[in-house]
């Protein structure tokens, strides 16, 4: 019960922080509620973005990956996170600059101004659909871990409601400012706790090297990396998953929301460029914890392996400290859920409802966003009710699906010849191919390399097809009035300085 008490306490603290933001009037206007009045400084920005991406996937999912698939998981992290900060800054510097000038508050705003309303609506819906498996992965991880740490007192299904209820409350109350404050505190907390857990797990068998030697003696396959031929990880598999994760991270709502909320361009640069290095450092720990878990809690399979983070904590630490360590994983999941749910609620409120009913008042948009928070959370809890896919795989599915919007984003900022037709067709083609591959071959086809697709996984094949469609369709169609008019704004000389 110690774990339940600590996790409940953290939930109440998060609600209180959001309540403070509410009482101080940081949610009175749409600008304050949706983008924190563009007032977030370096520390809050960096740790808020860090927390909004370091999730149940990073803590529970990557430890499960390490447990089941070994050292190749670290290669995925490296190939994903090393270039991510630079890619983020390259893609979203204009999001910040134009967003500040044009008072943007949603991720659909740049697409609407560059390509028109149809592309804006399509983007919002695609991102919403892609976000669902990622949010489900966080909620699923929360339920699994609550059941494990409470020794079954709180069942998996009861756990699905436990933490999401508090997340919905503090999101609806505190808006972007409250969410950013909560994220920053949670980011510091779980970063500390994962290192504490790493130390205890490795010392269980005399240190890092002796622990890895024990794992290698019992599970040499976990250290196998190559092209094929019985290897757990092949290089195409590593490249395919890392590409889906890196490109998907660029296209999720969090970088947009934090770009709009940044106080300065220096803060934006510090946030993006430091993110990859900090993430790589932090997420390596749960991955290695998972690898070490093979000699501490052996025999877990499939979805059961998502419990390894909590189980090794219970096996190596005093009860109260194990509860704190696992609570760190909970805060990671909480902060990611609030980032994705809030971003999508804002998109639906301002990009969809405002388009349908432009006469809606600003205060009504805030109310609508709060309603959408509750609806999205309820739908994701319902989907997580009967888990069949581990947290890590669910998360990669989400990254790969949203990654097909990358070309429309790049074209909006960096290619004058990009057209609305190209952006729309490429996005729809990428989503259609992802769905088709999933229907034909299930999750294995979209996640793992396929011989008939030249060792590409379904996501990477869909991404390439989306890119081909984007360039061909843009060349074959003429820019319309909206695209022509947008060039003066999106390619203004001041943006290149």
Distances (CA, A) of 334 to 55, 58, 328, 394: 8, 12, 10, 17
Of the candidates 277, 352, 217, the one whose C-alpha atom is nearest the C-alpha of residue 85 is 277
Mean pLDDT of 65-89: 82
Is the per-residue pLDDT at 97 higher than 80? yes
Q: Are 260 and 104 in contact (CB under 8 A)?
A: yes
Does residue 301 lie in a domain region? yes
Does residue 415 lie in a domain region? no
**What pLDDT does 11 receive?**
73
Contacts of 159 (CB under 8 A, 6+ apart): 142, 143, 144, 145, 146, 147
DSSP alpha helix (H) spans, 24-61: 30-35, 42-53, 56
**What pLDDT does 171 receive?**
65
Is the per-residue pLDDT at 119 higher than 70? yes
Does residue 458 lie in a domain region? no
b/e code 454-473 from CB counts within 10 Å (16+ = b): ebbbbbbbbbebbbebbbeb
And the tokens for 277? 């290095």
Q: Are 132 and 337 in contact (CB under 8 A)?
A: no
Element (H, E) at 233: strand 233-234
Does residue 215 lie in a domain region? yes
Of the candidates 191, 165, 207, 199, the one whose C-alpha atom is nearest the C-alpha of residue 59 is 191
Does residue 237 lie in a domain region? yes
**What pLDDT does 409 receive?**
94
Q: Are 152 and 159 in contact (CB under 8 A)?
A: no
Structure letter (DSSP) for residue 306: G
The tally of domains found in the chain comes to 1
DSSP 207-268: SHHHHHHHHHHH-GGGG-EESSSS-SEEHHHHHHHHHHHHHHHHHSHHHHHHHHHBS-HHHH
Does residue 197 lie in a domain region? yes
Share of the chain above pLDDT 70, in %: 84
DSSP 391-413: HHHHHHHHHHHHGGGHHHHHHHH
Confidence of residue 376 (pLDDT cuts 50, 70, 90): confident
Q: Are 458 and 467 in contact (CB under 8 A)?
A: no
Structural domain span for residue 136: 2-392
Mean pLDDT of 74-84: 79
Confidence of residue 387 (pLDDT cuts 50, 70, 90): low
Confidence of residue 427 (pLDDT cuts 50, 70, 90): very high
Is the per-residue pLDDT at 128 higher than 80? yes
Separation CA 25–CA 366 (nearest Å): 13
Confidence of residue 390 (pLDDT cuts 50, 70, 90): low
Give strand pairing partners of 450.
456
Separation CA 439–CA 422 (nearest Å): 25
And the tokens for 489? 């704004």
Give the CA count within 13 Å in the CB-facing half-sphere of 325: 28
Mean pLDDT of 355-378: 82
Q: Are 444 and 155 in contact (CB under 8 A)?
A: no
Confidence of residue 421 (pLDDT cuts 50, 70, 90): very high
User: 19-33, 178-192, 219-233: which has the minimum mean pLDDT?
Assistant: 19-33
Kindly report the pTM of this predicted structure: 0.80
Is the per-residue pLDDT at 26 higher than 70? no
Separation CA 347–CA 122 (nearest Å): 11
Composition of the chain by helix, strand, coil, percent to 5: 80, 0, 15
Mean pLDDT of 408-435: 93
Does residue 456 lie in a domain region? no
Indicate if the alpha-carbon torsion angle 461, 463, 466, 470 is positive or negative. negative
Mean pLDDT of 164-183: 69
Please compute Rg for the chain using Cα positions.
22
Mean pLDDT: which of 144-148, 179-183, 369-373 is highest? 369-373
Is the per-residue pLDDT at 452 higher than 80? no
**For residue 24, what is the domain's CATH number?**
1.20.1730.10
**What pLDDT does 154 receive?**
75
Of the candidates 105, 490, 60, the one whose C-alpha atom is nearest the C-alpha of residue 259 is 105
The mean pLDDT of the chain is 80
With the CA atoms of 108, 354, 97 and 406 taken in that order, what torsion angle do they form, in degrees rounded to the nearest 10?
0
Cβ atoms within 10 Å of 453's Cβ, excluding its own? 16
Does residue 139 lie in a domain region? yes
Of the candidates 84, 66, 120, the one whose C-alpha atom is nearest the C-alpha of residue 279 is 84
């Amino acid at each position: 019960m110690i774990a339940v008490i600590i996790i409940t306490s953290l939930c109440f603290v998060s609600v209180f922080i959001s309540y403070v933001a509410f009482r101080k009037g940081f949610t009175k206007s749409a600008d304050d509620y949706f983008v924190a009045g563009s007032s977030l400084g370096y520390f809050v920005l960096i740790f808020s973005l860090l927390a909004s991406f370091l999730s149940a996937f990073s803590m529970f999912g990557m430890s499960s990956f390490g447990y089941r698939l070994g050292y190749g998981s670290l290669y995925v992290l490296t190939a994903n996170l090393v270039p991510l900060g630079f890619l983020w800054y390259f893609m979203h510097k204009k999001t910040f600059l134009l967003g500040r000038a044009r008072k943007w508050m949603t991720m659909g705003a740049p697409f609407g101004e560059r390509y028109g309303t149809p592309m804006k609506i399509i983007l919002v819906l695609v991102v919403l659909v892609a976000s669902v498996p990622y949010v489900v992965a966080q909620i699923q991880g929360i339920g699994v871990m609550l059941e494990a740490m409470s020794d079954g007192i709180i069942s998996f299904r009861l756990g699905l409601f436990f933490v999401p209820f508090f997340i919905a409350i503090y999101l609806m109350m505190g808006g972007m400012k409250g969410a950013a404050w909560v994220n920053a505190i949670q980011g510091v907390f779980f970063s500390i706790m994962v290192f504490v857990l790493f130390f205890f797990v490795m010392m269980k068998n005399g240190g890092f090297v002796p622990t890895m030697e024990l794992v290698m003696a019992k599970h040499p396959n976990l250290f196998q990396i190559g092209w094929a031929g019985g290897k757990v990880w092949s290089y195409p598999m590593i490249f395919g998953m890392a590409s889906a994760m890196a490109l998907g991270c660029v296209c999720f709502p969090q970088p947009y929301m934090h770009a709009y909320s940044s106080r300065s361009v220096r803060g934006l640069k510090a946030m993006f460029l430091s993110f990859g290095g900090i993430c790589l450092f932090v997420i390596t720990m749960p991955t290695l914890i998972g690898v070490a878990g093979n000699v501490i809690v052996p025999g877990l399979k499939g979805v059961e392996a998502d419990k390894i983070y909590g189980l090794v904590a219970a096996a190596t630490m005093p009860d109260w400290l194990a509860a704190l360590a696992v609570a760190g994983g909970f805060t990671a999941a909480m902060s990611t859920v609030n980032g994705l749910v809030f971003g999508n609620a804002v998109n639906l409120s301002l990009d969809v409802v405002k388009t349908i009913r432009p006469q809606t008042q600003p205060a009504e948009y805030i109310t609508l966003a709060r309603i959408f928070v509750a609806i999205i959370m309820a739908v994701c809890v319902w989907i997580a009710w009967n888990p069949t896919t581990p947290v890590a795989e669910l998360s990669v599915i989400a990254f790969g699906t949203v990654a097909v919007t990358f070309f429309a984003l790049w074209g909006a900022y960096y290619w004058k010849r990009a057209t609305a037709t190209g952006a729309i067709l490429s996005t729809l083609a990428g989503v259609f191919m992802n769905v088709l591959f999933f229907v034909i071959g299930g999750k294995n086809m979209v996640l793992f390399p396929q011989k008939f697709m030249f060792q590409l996984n379904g996501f990477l094949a869909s991404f390439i097809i989306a890119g081909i469609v984007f360039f061909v369709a843009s060349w074959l169609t003429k820019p319309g009035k909206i695209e022509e008019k947008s060039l003066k704004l999106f390619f203004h000389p001041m943006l290149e300085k």
